[in-house]
Amino acid sequence: MLEIGMTAPDFTLCDQHGNTVSLHDFLGKRIVLYFYPKDNTPGCTRQACAFAGAYQAFKDNDIVVIGVSKDSVASHQKFAEKYELPFILLSDPERKAIEPYGVWQEKKMCGKTSMGVVRTTYIIGEDGRITHVMPKVKPDTNAADVLAALGK
């Protein structure tokens, strides 16, 4: 897992519209970069809808919200349309961002151990450095917790 003060690893991935998006495109803006396991699952849907519900507060403060999972561009497009998600969703099936950010970890569920994305949020400052690390966030409160951390 990355730490506060570290330079956020750059990456280039496709968004829900098939457009190429790079982290460095947002230098000079604050970024909320949240990693989640899977589109259309209960926790991930609640988390995305919470960010959508709070989106105006992020937009008003010139803060970019980006969600990342291993899902395909097509899956992200359907997810974003179904729940009217107004922010960027990036597809990372090859774990180009997931692994550098340290969120690909061993998980235990129902007595089984497997590798997967651990729900984690990073806040990145205008200078590209990590200002906050929020591991194992709660889907329902993640957006509000981020706004509180940013003093909004």
pLDDT of residue 1 exceeding 90:
no
Alpha carbon distance 139, 15 (integer Å): 21
Under 8 Å between Cβ of 52 and 87 = yes
The pTM (predicted TM-score) of the whole model is 0.96
What SS3 state is found at 81? helix
* Active-site annotation holder among 14, 44, 49, 110: 44
The pLDDT tens digits for 94-120 are 999 999 999 999 988 788 899 999 999
Alpha carbon distance 52, 132 (integer Å): 20
Domains of the chain from N-terminus onward: 12-149 (3.40.30.10)
44 catalytically annotated: yes
